[in-house]
Amino acid sequence: MELVLITGHSSGLGLELANAYLEREATVIGMARRSINSKNPRLYQFHFDLSREGNWEDKLRESLPRQDWSRVVLINCAGTIAPTQPYGSMEGLQISRAFELNVTAPLRLMNIAVAVYKDRPLRIVNVSSGAAKKPYQGWSVYCSSKAALAMASEVLAAEMETAERDVRVISYSPGPLDTPMQHELRKKKPEDFPQVERFVQMFNEGKLVSPKEAALDMMKQIDRTDLPYYLDYRL
Ligand SMILES: NC(=O)c1ccc[n+]([C@@H]2O[C@H](COP(=O)([O-])OP(=O)(O)OC[C@H]3O[C@@H](n4cnc5c(N)ncnc54)[C@H](OP(=O)(O)O)[C@@H]3O)[C@@H](O)[C@H]2O)c1
């Protein structure tokens, strides 16, 4: 029996992942501020605001099921693109909250998972973005937080390789996805988000990837038997 922990299971890519894992009989723990309308007895939902300095950490540690899982998968999918303003116009608190959600919460979860499931095969996916490697104006927080998360993934993989543990880490970039995150970006004014025109164009030209396609591809990567300790992957 497989246990899958997914942050941001209430929307977009995380929602597709949760549904696909439930369909293949996994037990799923979803963590987000909203819940989804599902009566599936294998879905456990935690209402966590992951941008709030680990208020949720103790509750999660004590609630995690300690069965003999055949494999445990942690997918850090929750993320925010805000703030999208250039330097000089950002709010300080929004910068801190975004780092808490995009970087600190995934690190806390990786830290918990490798401690609680130390005898189990573990697969960890941190959802990344092309923005981790390329600077985009107005996205200083998003670019730098995704870059930090990718480096944190690589360090974890190195530690697990040294310890010879059955843990593999994937930094997964799905490409531009047709999700509410993109919908919100397209609604922005150019003065608040200098790149809005590029995003409207990508949508109009049908260049967005469906979140279902990305979810199924990610699951395929997770299942690979030849997975290296660290995989930097782009769909
Ligand atoms: N969309 C793209 O084009 C694109 C491209 C590359 C990478 N990505 C990455 O893919 C991942 C999923 O993005 P998406 O497009 O599916 O976005 P989305 O539809 O906006 O979903 C974001 C998810 O994150 C959760 N979340 C946001 N703030 C949270 C908070 N404070 N606490 C807990 N959960 C929170 C949301 O849940 P609640 O609102 O219920 O809390 C939601 O489930 C993100 O990491 C994103 O950076 C997206």
- Pocket probe for ligand 1: among 13, 84, 125, 203, the residue whose CB has the most ligand atoms within 8 Å is 13
SS3 at position 231? strand
Answer yes or no: is 196 within a domain: no
Compute the distance from residue 76 Cα to the ligand 1 centre, in Å: 10
Question: What are the φ/ψ torsions at residue 218 (nearest 5 degrees)?
Answer: -60, -40
Answer yes or no: is 193 within a domain: no
The pLDDT value recorded for residue 55 is 87
- Pocket probe for ligand 1: among 33, 53, 210, the residue whose CB has the most ligand atoms within 8 Å is 33
Compute the distance from residue 165 Cα to the ligand 1 centre, in Å: 30
The pLDDT value recorded for residue 173 is 98
Answer yes or no: is 187 within a domain: no
Please name the residues in contact with 23: beta carbons below 8 A apart, sequence gap of 6 or more.
Answer: none
The pLDDT value recorded for residue 90 is 96
Q: Whose CA is nearest to atom 2 of ligand 1?
A: 177
| Ligand 1 pocket check for 126: Cβ under 6 Å | no
Total number of domains constituting the chain: 1
| Ligand 1 pocket check for 101: Cβ under 6 Å | yes
Answer yes or no: is 183 within a domain: no
The pLDDT value recorded for residue 194 is 80
Answer yes or no: is 140 within a domain: yes
Exposure letters 35-54 (e unless 16+ CB within 10 A, then b): ebeeeeeebbbbebbbbeee
The pLDDT value recorded for residue 195 is 85
Q: Which domain holds residue 114?
A: 2-174+211-234
Beta strands in the chain (DSSP E): 2-7, 27-32, 43-47, 71-76, 122-127, 167-173, 230-234
Answer yes or no: is 74 within a domain: yes
The domain that contains 33 carries what CATH number?
3.40.50.720
Answer yes or no: is 204 within a domain: no
The pLDDT value recorded for residue 161 is 98
Residues in the chain, pLDDT under 50: none
| Ligand 1 pocket check for 170: Cβ under 6 Å | no
Answer yes or no: is 118 within a domain: yes
The pLDDT value recorded for residue 193 is 82
Question: What are the φ/ψ torsions at residue 230 (nearest 5 degrees)?
Answer: -130, 130
Question: Which residues are designated catalytic?
Answer: 142
Compute the distance from residue 138 Cα to the ligand 1 centre, in Å: 18
CA 118 to chain centroid? 21
Q: Per-residue pLDDT tens for 92-146?
A: 999 999 999 999 999 999 999 999 999 999 999 999 999 999 999 999 999 999 9
The pLDDT value recorded for residue 210 is 98
Residues 138, 84: contact at Cβ < 8 Å?
Answer: yes
